[in-house]
Amino acid sequence: MTNKLLPNYTWINGLSYEFKIPMTLNGMKDVKIKTTTCGGKEVWARLGGNHQSYLPSRLLMKDIIFGVMYKGEKEIDWYNSQQTLDSNDIDSFCFKGTAITSVDEYTKTYNPYTKYNRFQLETLINNRNVQASLWRTVENYKKSGAWNEMCNVRLHKPDVVSHVSRLAMWKILTKNLSIKDFVIPNPAISLQLNTHKEMGSETETFRFLFTNKITTKKQTLTEWIKKNTAAKPEEYTVEFVKADTMYELEQELLEEDNPF
């Protein structure tokens, strides 16, 4: 007989799912998903909360929007642009997205051909015979600087997504533990959320795709936040004068918390 108090987990392609990460003064707790119990009551449940959880260990989503749940409130405030908020008022950092069950569909959320087409990026810059036949075109590209730009485009999604742990994300969004201000990022194109067990507890890593326009280097949460200042741009820019230091922090935290 099914226990009606247990969470009812589903992961269905095309449905929208909401998540929250409760916040403390020292960081973020485990990620929770909004669902219902088997008896139909709405609850927030840990991703690996019980043996009846059939969620995949790798959750793929698109159309990611961020928000917060304020203290004393039950509803989530969603933001379609970056905001800087007072973390003293926030109970949980939240995000939602549309479930993707096809790896191919998830991969296609990154489109490297926004500026140059497939022939230019996959054939022209790699085939010397084609280059010889179109030497005038190649010379024009080199003179304009387009050739180097095409050579630097990353064709595969793993080469551009931001890979960040929950701990690293907390430090970046709080501007390296400047607790009073908390940054809500701009919407992201897609997200791969990995859950895994570490020393008997669940932990998560996040792989965000923030934009298709940055195709020449790996996207990072630090860089995305830095280049999209909003509510307090003057104060926030000062906080990121040492952006390289923050980037190193992100990488160090990944090494410490990398499940792979």
Q: Label residue 215 by pLDDT band (50, 70, 90).
A: confident
Percentage with pLDDT > 70 across the chain = 80
Which residues contact residue 209 at a Cβ distance below 8 angstroms, ignoring those fewer than 6 apart? 109, 110, 157, 160, 161, 162, 188, 189, 190, 191, 219
CA distance 126 to 137: 14
Q: Tens digit of pLDDT for each residue in 151-197?
A: 989 999 999 999 999 888 888 888 755 557 888 998 999 999 988 76
Q: Tens digit of pLDDT for each residue in 224-240?
A: 877 654 434 333 333 33
